[in-house]
Structure 1
Amino acid sequence: MKKFDLNIEKVLEHWTIPHALREIIANALDESILTNTKEPLIFKDKDNKWHIKDFGRGLKYEHLTQNENKEKIENPDKVIGKFGVGLKDAMATFDRRKIKILIQSKYSDITIKKVSKGDFDDVVTLHAIVNEPTQSNMMGTEFTFTGLKDVDIEKAKDFFLLYSGERSIEETKYGELIENKKNRSRIYVNGICVAEEDNLLFSYNITSTTKKLRQSLNRERTNVGRSAYSDRVKSILLECASPEFAGKLVNDLQRIQAGNAHDELQWVDVQLHACKILSSQEKVMFLTAYDLMDGGKYLSYAKEEGLRIITVPDSLANKLETSKDLNGNNFRNLETYALEWNEQFEFAIVNVNQLTTKEREVFNYKDTIVGWFPKRNNPVKDIVISETMRPDNYTGSDALGLWEPSSNRIIIKRNQLKNLQSYAGTLIHELVHAHTNTDDNSIEFESELTEMLGKLSILILKSSKPKSMLRRLLNK
């Protein structure tokens, strides 16, 4: 029998039994990774004693020194631990919490006990009691615990992604995106929980650590600050490309306006990345809150076509206008959708013979009205009636009339034939567009329309009965 002083300088008083068990499990998992052996076993025997067993190289008493583990330092992205103190902290906690332990390997059987320190009988410290191995051909290391409760094991296992029951949504070169089914999301580093967050949409398992993060992994491996891992969380998000990821993030994106979105949405480039994925995989249209209020019939048409409407903040909408999705296509917003819809739109042209007698009477005034405009270089080749019209670009409602330069024709909606006033007003409006090549709501169009109204006024005033004509106009 040999006595090995553990030389524990600082005891972690707040550690519970699950914290101590976490260290034993972490060491077992690390050993299985470093030696490429099977997953450790955690089980309870018929005597109600719990066991944690790995199948690695076996623990030596020299491993109980309080130094950094060189092998683990050289493999930071493979293993969980890096300090030799974790095992010693665990043993001190077991002693303080009255849990008996037996550590067995092919090298020795080890227990712990408080005994006098060397020749100083009045100084009692925690020692490892090292005996000859009872199983000299044993593979790996086995810890046997007396006095553990089942709940201690369950709480200890809950520190680990492997035993948490949480589902991995997607793996990237920086780590895993984990479904968050708990009240709080978790940050794992190589499979062990180092922090919990209240307002993250996902949990994360960081498998490619940064120097800053490695330096922040303290002796206790808990309560690591967000600044240490936020860069890696963002990197994981920007590498993800699954529909499930994009869908969850975009759904949350729509909560920004209400101020209750999760913290991942604070990164505009993450918002943009999610939109790129979604646009590449679904028929979606991205609208601002203003677009939703002002979308008119185009919004109704989009919904009828089954487009998914995504509300985005103005800052993101501006980025979408100058970006492309993963397929290299432009993002669909209200303006681009209107252009698409109009390009596909087909007018339901009505033959003159299909008009009612009253409608034909009104329609036949077209030559008279056209005659009020200059005959030289007249761009209008045809005037037709349609049952359907495209929405205009200002109100979103069906246009009453349309000047179509590509075909040199004016198209009037059929309901304008209900009376001469409606028909004449719409036709004059479109004739001004045709003759002046100006757009609605422009100063040029307003000037040309005013000039045309002046010319029409002169025609009325010079007629034989100007007063009666004006009265008819004013009385409609």
Structure 2
Amino acid sequence: MKWFGKSKTADMKENNIKQIENIENAATQVKINTAKEFDLNIEKILENWEIYHAIREIISNALDEQILTNTNDISIFKDESNWWHIRDYGRGLNYHHLTQNENEEKLESDKLIGRFGVGLKDALATLYRHKIKVKIVSKHGTITLKTASKSGFDDIVTLHAEIIPTDNLNMLGTDFCLCGCNQEDIANAKALFLKFSKCNICEKTKYGEVIEKKEDFANIYINGVKVAEETNFLFSYNITSLTSQLKKALNRERTNVGRSAYTDRIKSILKECKANIVIDALINDLQQFGSGKRHDELSWNDVAMYASREMGRINASTTFVTARDLELSPSLIDEMKTKGFTPVVVPENLIEKMEDYNNGADDGETLTTSSQYLKNEQENFTPTQIKITDLTPQEKIIYDKTKQIFQIIGGKPQIVREIQIVDKIYESELYISTVGLWIPATQIILIKRTQLESIESYAGTLLHECAHARSGADDVSRSFEQELTDMIGTLSSRLLHI
């Protein structure tokens, strides 16, 4: 039977559709009536942030939640409707997370990058500015974005979050849904995380990780989030133990953190390393000083010293010299090579650090510098003392002035037990510049016989070594220079009878 041209079945179907629409409209109206608006209090945003910076913050929050709740890995994917999803499986985001308060839970953990609610709010504002649709879904509700006037101030428009209750109270985690961004935005955001970089970890320490550098620049990560780039670093690094200075340096943007903030932590990481891949690279780079190809880590004395000690441990024939040694003492370098040593050129300030280290090092742990090499040579060589009776008459005349020379500076220093005249101070005659030597262990001053050719040579060498004896300092040190200055002053005063 037909009713004005329509079948009864068609009429019933039309009624069913209207009923369904009425039910959906009613449900929508219920949700609208129960929707809440949350003022994000944002008028101005970070203008230099791009879409991928905002996505970085969302990924960072998801990774933090994964760590805090020990849940499954986050997932990042695009659905058939071209919506991108960043999904974690934690406790679910609610409107409380949109406040700009310190998160005590995150502050207490050194494993996380997030500290405040600022990053998420900046991310939402950036996405809205770039006309990216945002939908945040969790068991606590669905959050979307809109602009609205501040309550009681119609002329001030800010970004608001609209929160609609959800029917899925058993949902795990949070699903950030984004529409309008592209594959490049997602890729650029993921590139800021070590987790997605596929880099090789060379070594893990209690302070962080040393990472193989895959590009022309190195990346600096903090808890897996990239915060800086370095153009002349040997490795990339992931800092996992944060100093107070580093925590303060983590600004809202988490980018371009200054080198001064993370230098100490990278030093600590490198000085903990034992893996051959790291040690070998440091040693090889240490030897590039002369070529000018050394990386910045080896310009830090702490790291260069560590590499030097490791190099000395691996190859006991290593000797450390300066460019000045090469220029002024070529014969010394030649003798080192002849005896099987391998001279490595390093900066003079590093040699000074080595000398300080050697003063407190145990036997067998010293680093062989040119002065340490000479010291070892001296310890292994016993000079032959020349008897005073074997001196020539002219040499004896000069030697007999010893007491008078001492009187010029107020008498022989008590610490000096004996003056010995020797033919050689070192086994090799290559070191012609060494004409005198103070030996603290035996309290003896050695003076080469050639110095007895004139009173000027003998007196100058004797007083020079007395300055070493009285100051307890080596050549070219502040203490030695001061003692020598005092001695010259005393000498001048006595000669002028003042």
| TM more than 0.5 | yes
The answer to whether the aligner puts 1:40 opposite 2:74 as a matched pair is yes
Q: Which amino acid aligns with 1:219?
A: R
Q: Which amino acid aligns with 1:229?
A: Y
Q: Report 1:279-298 matches (<5 A).
A: 279-282=312-315, 284-288=317-321, 289=323, 293-294=330-331, 295-296=333-334, 298=336
Q: Secondary structure at the match of 2:210?
A: strand
The answer to whether the aligner puts 1:393 opposite 2:428 as a matched pair is yes
1:207-236, Cα deviation, whole Å (9 max, x unpaired) = 221222212211111222222222222222
Q: Which amino acid aligns with 1:183?
A: D
State whether residues 185 and 203 of structure 1, in contact with CA within 8 Å, keep that contact through their aligned partners in structure 2.
yes
1:374-403, Cα deviation, whole Å (9 max, x unpaired) = xxxxxxxxxxxxxxxxxx83459xxxxxxx
State whether residues 140 and 169 of structure 2, in contact with CA within 8 Å, keep that contact through their aligned partners in structure 1.
yes
After TM superposition, give the deviation of residue 441 of structure 1 in Å.
7.6
1:435-470, Cα deviation, whole Å (9 max, x unpaired) = xxxx998528999xxxxxxxxxxxxxxxxxxxxxxx
Q: Which amino acid aligns with 2:218?
A: S
After TM superposition, give the deviation of residue 151 of structure 1 in Å.
0.9
Q: Secondary structure at the match of 2:92?
A: coil
C-alpha separation in 1, matches of 2:81 and 2:315: 58
Q: Which amino acid aligns with 2:290?
A: Q
After TM superposition, give the deviation of residue 290 of structure 1 in Å.
6.0
1:137-176, Cα deviation, whole Å (9 max, x unpaired) = 1111111111111111111111112222333222222222
C-alpha separation in 2, matches of 1:444 and 1:28: 79
C-alpha separation in 2, matches of 1:326 and 1:42: 56
C-alpha separation in 2, matches of 1:440 and 1:63: 80
Residue equivalent to 1:254: 287
Q: Report 1:76-475 matches (<5 A).
A: 77-118=110-151, 122-282=155-315, 284-288=317-321, 289=323, 293-294=330-331, 295-296=333-334, 298-299=336-337, 302=340, 310-320=344-354, 323=358, 329-332=365-368, 393-394=428-429, 443=450
Residue equivalent to 1:70: 104
RMSD: 3.4
Q: Give the TM-score taking structure 1 as reference length.
A: 0.66
Q: Which amino acid aligns with 2:308?
A: C
Q: Which amino acid aligns with 2:73?
A: E
State whether residues 250 and 310 of structure 1, in contact with CA within 8 Å, keep that contact through their aligned partners in structure 2.
no
Identical aligned residues as a percent: 50
State whether residues 23 and 87 of structure 1, in contact with CA within 8 Å, keep that contact through their aligned partners in structure 2.
yes
Structure 1 residues 261-270 or 104-113, which shifts more?
Answer: 261-270
Q: Which amino acid aligns with 1:159?
A: L
Unaligned runs of 5+ in 1: 342-391, 397-438, 448-476
C-alpha separation in 2, matches of 1:6 and 1:319: 55
After TM superposition, give the deviation of residue 192 of structure 1 in Å.
1.2
Q: Which amino acid aligns with 1:20?
A: A
C-alpha separation in 2, matches of 1:150 and 1:180: 25
1:308-357, Cα deviation, whole Å (9 max, x unpaired) = 6533234434544553999954445679889999xxxxxxxxxxxxxxxx
Distance 1:339 1:83, change over 3 A: closer
After TM superposition, give the deviation of residue 102 of structure 1 in Å.
1.3
Structure 1 residues 328-337 or 190-199, which shifts more?
Answer: 328-337
Distance 1:338 1:125, change over 3 A: closer
1:78-112, Cα deviation, whole Å (9 max, x unpaired) = 11010101111101111111111111111111111
Q: Which amino acid aligns with 1:393?
A: S
State whether residues 175 and 206 of structure 1, in contact with CA within 8 Å, keep that contact through their aligned partners in structure 2.
yes
2:64 to 19, 24, 30: 30
Distance 1:284 1:22, change over 3 A: farther
1:109-155, Cα deviation, whole Å (9 max, x unpaired) = 11112234346555432211211225321111111111111111111
Distance 1:325 1:153, change over 3 A: farther
State whether residues 109 and 134 of structure 1, in contact with CA within 8 Å, keep that contact through their aligned partners in structure 2.
no
C-alpha separation in 2, matches of 1:268 and 1:216: 24
Q: Secondary structure at the match of 2:131?
A: coil
State whether residues 57 and 141 of structure 1, in contact with CA within 8 Å, keep that contact through their aligned partners in structure 2.
yes
C-alpha separation in 2, matches of 1:327 and 1:16: 59
C-alpha separation in 2, matches of 1:168 and 1:266: 23
Residue equivalent to 1:426: none
Structure 1 residues 180-189 or 51-60, which shifts more?
Answer: 180-189
Q: Secondary structure at the match of 2:135?
A: strand
Q: Which amino acid aligns with 1:185?
A: A
Pairs aligned (count): 355
Q: Secondary structure at the match of 1:51?
A: strand
Q: Secondary structure at the match of 2:112?
A: coil
Distance 1:329 1:227, change over 3 A: closer
C-alpha separation in 1, matches of 2:362 and 2:166: 61
Q: Which amino acid aligns with 1:443?
A: T
C-alpha separation in 1, matches of 2:235 and 2:362: 23
The answer to whether the aligner puts 1:19 opposite 2:48 as a matched pair is no
After TM superposition, give the deviation of residue 51 of structure 1 in Å.
1.2
The answer to whether the aligner puts 1:2 opposite 2:36 as a matched pair is yes
